[in-house]
Amino acid sequence: MSERPHFARVALIGLGLIGSSIARAVKQIGLADELVATDASAAVRDRAAEIRLADRIAATNADAVRDADLVIACVPVGACAEVAASIAPHLKAGAIVSDVGSVKGAVLRAMCPLLPPSVHFIPAHPVAGTENSGPDAGFAELFINRWCILTPPEGIDAAALEKLTGFWRALGANVEVMSAEHHDLVLAVTSHLPHLIAYTIVGTADELEDVTRSEVLKFSAGGFRDFTRIAASDPTMWRDVFLTNKDAVLEMLGAFQEDLSKLTRAIRRGDGEALFDHFTRTRAIRRGIVDLGQETASADFGRPHGPLPKTPSS
């Protein structure tokens, strides 16, 4: 277990759900003497200042990263290259530079060539989030017992890697190190494909001729509503994920299509045994996720249920 590190100055670029959650956690734990933050949007910077997300809100990326020991770009994957270019001339030698993007190969390729060799660049992906976006959506506990995956380039400085590992552990996360390529394959199935499927089915339900939108909403408790949560995620972030992890997503989509064809065929042929066997197997997976602390054991995700009126009517 690495010791909890301390930073003289941490800089966050981007104050959406992830950036603002990191900011709250860093301040709450006292991981840095000074926390500086910025965002491309003036409205977000104003809001961040208003709710005191950081010790100082900088107007530009260049200003934010000056003298920082740790810089984290908390922006959509497609904005990473631009951030790297804007901060490169202003980074302190020896600084750790990281990100939180859901795709790692593309981030590595986009940012690495633009950053000076005097900094330690370690891409990171905290596998955590909610369907909400923006500086008000974040909360300090978001990363507790979630995994943060680091994908350091070969030959990375061991002390820098340990320091970033300690940072994420301090935020409550478990840290795992793997190659960017493997990360992109794993996340394609545990995150990107589920989002694509959810976005698809929610769109499908909204465009039917024979079933009204009102009916879809009313009877959504039959299962549909579970899909709407991740289909409500940030559109910019997810556009970038699919554009930058195309190959792995298409590969997983191929596997999904094969399996869907198999089940469709079983339905068409009335093969109850094949359906029953499949449905029995998938039941076990949830149990594994609950046992690992990645999911609540409460029924229905722990959604609240109202109380039943006990008094009989007249």
Which of positions 82-101 make contact with its own copies (CB under 8 A)? none
> 145, 153, 159, 162: which one contacts its own copies (CB under 8 A)?
145
CA 176 from chain center: how many Å?
15
Structure tokens belonging to residue 21: 């959650």
Closest C-alpha among 188, 83, 194 to residue 131: 194
Pattern 42-81, its own copies, x by CB under 8 A:
----------------------------------------
Q: What is the DSSP string of 96-124?
A: EEEE--S-SHHHHHHHGGGS-TTSEE--E
Comparing CB distances to its own copies, the nearer of 157 and 251 is 251
Comparing CB distances to its own copies, the nearer of 67 and 300 is 300
At 19, give phi and psi (nearest 5°): -60, -45
> 42, 89, 117, 303: which one contacts its own copies (CB under 8 A)?
303
> 15, 18, 29, 153: which one contacts its own copies (CB under 8 A)?
29
Number of helices followed by number of strands (H, E) in the chain: 13, 9
CA gap 89, 31 in Å, rounded? 26
Closest CB 17 distance from its own copies, rounded Å: 9
CA gap 173, 140 in Å, rounded? 12
By CB under 8 A, the count of residues binding its own copies is 129
Which of positions 257-276 make contact with its own copies (CB under 8 A)? 259-260, 263-264, 266-268, 270, 272, 275-276
Helices (H), the chain: 17-29, 42-50, 61-65, 80-87, 105-111, 158-170, 180-187, 193-206, 213-218, 224-230, 235-244, 246-269, 272-291
Closest CB 63 distance from its own copies, rounded Å: 28
Which of positions 174-213 make contact with its own copies (CB under 8 A)? 176, 182, 185-187, 189-208, 210-211, 213
Closest CB 159 distance from its own copies, rounded Å: 18
Closest CB 181 distance from its own copies, rounded Å: 10
